[in-house]
A and B are shown apart, each in its own frame.
Chain A
Amino acid sequence: MSNDTRIPLQPVWDQPDTSRIPFKVYTDEQTHQQELEKLFYRNHWCYVGLEAEIPEPGDFKRTVIGERSVIMVRDNEGMINVVENVCAHRGMRFCRKKHGNAKELVCPYHQWNYDLKGNLQGVPFRRGVKQDGEVKGGMPKDFKPAEHGLTQLRVAQRGGVVFASFDENVEPFEEFIGPQMLHYFDRLFNGRKLKLLGYNKQRIPGNWKLMQENIKDPYHPGLLHTWFVTFGLWRADNRSELKMDEHHRHAAMISTRGQGGKNAQTTNVSSFKEEMKLNDPRFLDVEVEPWWNGPTAVMMTVFPSVILQQQVNSVSTRHIQPNGHDSFDFVWTHFGFEDDTPEMTERRLRQANLFGPAGFVSADDGEVIEFSQEGFEQKPFHRSLAELGGREIEETDHMVSETLIRGMYEYWRKQMEV
C-alpha cells in the first residue's frame, strides 16, 4: 500500500493486526455513516448525562447520541427516560431548549403532545371538527396513539450516570462495561450524589475516534503536555497501568503521580522546562481523596461516546458528539460530590483550568486532532502507525505503549466487518 497513492474507496487494512491504521477510517463519509449505525445506534450504550443534571420531576436536558438528538427527562415518578427528539407526526426535532422543566413534551408544529415517558397523549382534532352538525376530518378510526409515541430508548443508570441505547437488544450495561472497567467506573461513581459544576464545550474539526485515541494514548501526555511533565502529573516513569475490557473497546489509563522535577527519563524530553515554576501554586493544590485508593489519575474511555476523567481533584465526563466524519463537539461536564467542602469545590474548579478548550493541558489535544485530520485528508491512501510497545494487544504496567489504540481498532474492525 505504501507505494500506491491511489485513493481507495474503502479503508484498506493491509495486515491482520491493527498497528497500522488507514487514514481512510478518518476521512470517509460512508464509513462514518456505518460507524454511527453500528457503533452508536446498535449494540452499544451511549452516555447521555448525569442524574444530577435533572434532579426534579419534569427536568430535562437535550443532548445527542451519535448524531441523533435525544431528550433525557425525569418523569413525575422520578424515573429517568430518554426519548428521541423527533416528533412522531412529521418528524420535527421539536425540543429546542437545552434544558428546562416541562409538564409534558409538545411539538409546536401541530401540538402533538407526549407525556414525560414519550407516550403520545393527544392529537389535535383527532376526531375532527364539528361543522353544521357534522363531524369532519380527523384521524382514521383505527389510529392508535399507543403506536405513535416518541422513540423510547433503553436507559441504564449507575452511580448517578445515565446511559441510553436505541438498541432494544443491547446487552445489560454492566456486561457492556465489563468487570475490569466496572471496577474503575465504580471507583469514581461510588454512589455519592454528584454535584453539577458546569460545562465546557468545544467543536473540534477532526474525526471523533481521534478523541478516543487521544485518551488511549499514554505516549503523548508526557511529550505534548509540558504541564503534566513538569509537575509529575503524567510522566513516562510514573507508576502506571493500561487496562482494557475483554473486547478491547473500553480502556483505562491508570497513573500514580511521581515527585516531579528532574530525573533521567524526563530531562531528555524536549518539553520539560526545568526553569518553569508556578507563580500561583493553587493550580496544583492537590488534596488526596480517600476514594482514589492510590491512583492520582484514571482516564477511562467508554466506547464510543464518553471519557470519564479523574485527574487528581478534577473529575468530569467528556461527551463525544460527532457531526460528520471530520468534526465533533466535545462536551465536558464537570462535577463534584455532594459531601465536598467549599474548599474542595474551589479546588476542583481551580484544577479545571488544566482541562477543557482553554485548559493548560487539554487545549493542545484539540489542536493536534485538528492537524491530524488535515494530514489524513491530504493523504487518504496512507496509514498511521501505532506500533509502540509492539503489534500485539495486551495490558501493560507501563505507559510506553499504543496497545489501547490497537485494541480499539481490533474491536472496530470486528464491528465494522472490515
Chain B
Amino acid sequence: MNSTTMNMEIYLQLTQFYQDYAAAVDAADWDSWIEMFADDCTYRIQSRENHERNLPMAALSLDGKGMLKDRIYGITETIFHDPYMQNHVIAAPRILGLSPDLIEAQANYAVFRTKNDGIAQVFNVGRYIDRIRQTADGLRIESRICVFDNDMILNSLIYPI
C-alpha cells in the first residue's frame, strides 16, 4: 500500500462489499450484481496467459452497465446451457492504493461449480484486479478484471464470476 495509512473502516467496508458480491453471484441475483457496478464500468474475465502477455483478448469483455444487462439477458434468455450453481470463495482483499474517491484492491477467488446431477468442481481460480469507487451510495465497481489461472475453461463459462 502507498503512503496512505490503512483505514480500518474502509477495509471492513471493502471486505463486506466483496462478500456481498460473492453472495449476489452465488444466488444468481443478477440485479444486485449489476447494481454493484458504476454506470461506466469495465468488467473482464481474462486468462492469466493473455493478461501477462499483454494480449487484449478476454473470454468476456464488457464496458458499461448496458453490456452487463445484455449479458444477463443472454444468460437468462438466450444462451442454452446446463444450469449450474456457483460458490465463490473470495480471499481477504489486499488494498494497493487508496484515495478519497477510489480504492485499488485485489483479492484471490475460487469458484466452484455444481451441476444438477453432479459434484462440486473447481471451475475457475484467479484474482480480481479492482478499482472501486467510493460514492455517496456506497462502493461501486469502476473496473473488475477477473484474471483466471485455468488454462482451459471447463467447456463453457456462462455466469459472471
**Which residues of chain A come closer than 8 Å to B79, judged between CB atoms?**
360, 363-364
**Complexed CA–CA distance, A363 and B74 (Å):** 11
CA distance A329 to B151 in the complex (A): 10
Q: Pick from B57, B77, B154 the residue with the most CB of A within 10 Å.
A: B57
Contact of A197 with B156 in the complex, beta carbons under 8 Å: no
Expressed in whole angstroms, the minimum distance between the Cβ of B119 and any Cβ of chain A is 15
Please indicate the chain B residues that have their CB under 8 angstroms from the CB of A99 in the complex.
53
Candidates B45, B57, B62; contact of A334 at CB < 8 Å: B57
Task: State the Cβ distance, B66 to closest chain A Cβ, in Å.
Answer: 3
Is A357 a contact of B153 with CB atoms below 8 Å?
yes
Give the contacting residue for B61; candidates A276, A350, A357, A364; CB below 8 A: A350
Judged by a CB distance under 8 angstroms, whether A283 is at the interface is: yes
Are A273 and B57 in touch, CB under 8 angstroms? no
Residue of A nearest to B158 (CB): A363
Contact B156–A358 (Cβ < 8 Å): yes
**Given the contacts A360-B74, A366-B156, A368-B80, A280 and B66 also touching, CB distance less than 8 Å:** yes
Are A201 and B47 touching (Cβ within 8 A)?
yes
Chain B residues whose CB sits within 8 angstroms of the CB of A199 once the complex forms = 47, 49-50, 55, 57
User: B77 contacts which of A226, A279, A280, A366 (Cβ < 8 Å)?
Assistant: A226
Which residues of chain A are near B53, meaning CB under 8 Å? 99, 198
CB pair B47 A200 closer than 8 Å: yes
CB distance from B6 to the nearest CB of A (A): 36
Which residues 105-143 in B have Cβ within 8 Å of A in the complex? Answer: none
CB neighbours (8 Å) of A203 from chain B are 152-155
Task: Give the residues in chain A near B96, CB-CB below 8 Å.
Answer: none
Residues of chain B contacted by A334 (CB below 8 angstroms)? 57
**Contacts A202-B153, A357-B59: A227 and B74 contacting too (C-beta < 8 A)?**
yes
Contact flag A367-B80 (CB < 8 Å), given A198-B50, A198-B57, A357-B153 = yes
**Residue pair A283, B55 in contact (C-beta under 8 Å):** no
Q: Which of A345, A358, A368 contacts B158 (CB 8 A)?
A: A358
CB-CB under 8 A from B58, the residues of chain A are 198, 349, 352
- State the Cβ distance, A214 to closest chain B Cβ, in Å: 13
Q: Which of A199, A271, A276 lies at the interface centre, i.e. has the most chain B CB atoms within 10 A of its CB?
A: A199
Taking the closest CB of chain A, its distance from the CB of B52, in whole angstroms, is: 11
Chain A: which residue is nearest B64 at the CB level?
A280
Q: Is the CB of A202 within 8 A of B66?
A: no
Indicate if the CB atoms of A201 and B153 lie closer than 8 Å.
Answer: yes
Using known A-B contacts A201-B152, A202-B153, A280-B67, determine if residue A352 contacts B82 with beta carbons closer than 8 Å: no
A365: nearest chain-B partner, CB-CB: B156
Min Cβ gap A130→B in Å is 46
Nearest-neighbor residue (CB-CB) of B60 within chain A: A358
**Which residues of A are found within 8 Å of B47, using beta-carbon distances?**
198-201
A224 contacts the other chain (CB 8 A): yes
CB distance from A33 to the nearest CB of B (A): 23
Q: Is the beta-carbon distance between A276 and B57 smaller than 8 angstroms? A: no
Residues of chain B with a CB closer than 8 A to A371's CB: 82
A contact residues, range: 35 or more
Chain A residues numbered 295-333 whose CB sits less than 8 Å from any CB in chain B:
329
CB-based nearest B residue for A364: B80
A205 contacts chain B at the CB level, 8 A cutoff? yes
Residues of chain B lying within 8 A (CB to CB) of residue A197: 55-57
Residues of chain A lying within 8 A (CB to CB) of residue B70: 278-280, 283
In chain B, what residue has the closest Cβ to A206?
B155
Q: Do residues B151 and A201 form an inter-chain contact, with CB atoms below 8 A?
A: yes
A360 to B76 CA separation, bound complex (whole angstroms): 11
Q: Could you tell me if B155 and A366 are in contact, using CB atoms closer than 8 angstroms?
A: yes
Does any Cβ of A come within 8 Å of B1's Cβ? no
**What's the minimum C-beta distance from A137 to chain B, rounded to whole angstroms?**
41
Q: Does B5 contact A (CB under 8 A)?
A: no
Which chain B residue shows the least CB distance to A202?
A: B153
Asked if B157 lies at the interface with its beta carbon under 8 angstroms from chain A, I say yes
B-chain residues with CB within 8 Å of residue A367 when the two chains form the complex:
80-82, 155-156
The complex places the Cα of A364 from the Cα of B152 at a distance, in Å, of 16
B157 touches A357 (CB 8 A): yes
Against B, the Cβ 8 Å flags (1 = close, 0 = not) of A217-229 are: 0000000111100
Query: In chain A, what residue has the closest Cβ to B73?
Result: A276
Contacts of A227 in B (CB 8 A): 74, 78
Query: Given A204-B155, A227-B78, A371-B82, is A98 in contact with B49 using a C-beta cutoff of 8 Å?
Result: yes
| Interface residue ranges, B against A (CB under 8 Å) | 45, 47, 49-50, 53, 55-67, 69-70, 73-74, 77-82, 151-158
Interchain residue pairs with CB less than 8 A apart (17): A199-B57, A202-B154, A203-B155, A204-B155, A205-B155, A271-B78, A276-B73, A278-B66, A280-B64, A280-B66, A345-B56, A349-B58, A353-B60, A357-B59, A360-B79, A366-B155, A367-B156
Known contacts A279-B73, A363-B156, then 17 further A-B pairs from the complex at CB < 8 Å, ordered by chain A residue: A196-B55, A197-B55, A198-B47, A199-B47, A199-B57, A200-B57, A200-B153, A201-B47, A203-B152, A203-B154, A280-B64, A280-B66, A282-B67, A329-B152, A349-B57, A350-B61, A364-B156
| 10 nearest A-B residue pairs (beta carbon) | A198-B57, A198-B55, A280-B66, A279-B66, A226-B78, A363-B156, A203-B152, A357-B153, A364-B80, A198-B50
